[in-house]
Amino acid sequence: MSDKMNRQIILITGSSRGIGRQLAEHYAGQGHMVFGCSRGRPDFVHDRYCHITADVADESSVLALFSEISRSARHLDLLVNNAGLAMSRYALLTGESEAERVIRANFLGAFLVMREAIKLMKRRGFGRIVNFSSVNVPLGSAGSAIYSASKASLEHLGYTLSREIASDNITINTIGLSLVAGSGMGEALNAEALRDKQRSLLKPALLDISEIVHVIDFFASVKTSNITNQILYFGGVR
């Protein structure tokens, strides 16, 4: 790691499995105080990890989450907005309730968490927010209409919200993920769909979690106070 963060208070949403779990384990192992949340329980413990059961798509649950963080840690340095739902389904075969569930988790939930995180970050006049989007947004991959739209909405939310808080030392940046090893993304696609996806990328290799950490650390650094409203895509996509 070329730019180690000083020990920070970090919230990672969707931390019970996949990318969120890997990130939570990594940052707790680095000595940061990590709060994680998900609707279920994680299957790991660490003395620098505190899990809070929460549904990011439920406002009262998000308020309770931040009450707990505020009570325990008093401030927040970094939010990794990871929680979300994946959906690979052609739009014409997607029902309203499924579409709403994805939009609530990926957009509304991310918004609620960002809103409360910013309030907490304003206390110390410092904060870093890293949202996760997807290469499916610029690629417009067939079968990802609702998912991509939810992520595109999140990208634009960051675009505007970063303006509303520009005078604060709080930045909002987004990482557009491609396929991540061990996240369930590749496993959710059949072999043909996986090959098609990889063919659309300049850099098709599955991402290792260390690559994502590298970018998070860059955006989260105290040295990047002038970098906000940026989207960095993996996979060679623009």
Q: Please identify every residue annotated as catalytic.
A: 147
Q: Does position 64 bind another protein by CB under 8 A?
A: yes
Single residue of 2, 45, 47, 71 touching another protein by CB under 8 A: 71
Q: Does position 120 bind another protein by CB under 8 A?
A: yes
How far apart CA 80 and CA 215 sit, in angstroms, is 12
Q: Does position 53 bind another protein by CB under 8 A?
A: no
The nearest distance, CB 64 to another protein, in angstroms, is 8
Q: How far apart are the first and last CA of the chain?
A: 25
Q: Which amino acid is at 88?
A: S
Residues 184-223 that bind another protein (CB under 8 A): none
Residues 6+ apart with CB under 8 A from 136: 144, 147, 148, 151
The nearest distance, CB 157 to another protein, in angstroms, is 16
How far apart CA 152 and CA 134 sit, in angstroms, is 9
For another protein, give the closer residue by CB, 113 or 139: 113
How far apart CA 118 and CA 211 sit, in angstroms, is 26
Q: Which amino acid is at 160?
A: T
Single residue of 39, 48, 55, 70 touching another protein by CB under 8 A: 70
SS3 16: coil
The nearest distance, CB 66 to another protein, in angstroms, is 7
Question: Which residues are at the interface with another protein (CB under 8 A)?
Answer: 63-64, 66-67, 70-71, 118-120, 122-123, 164, 167
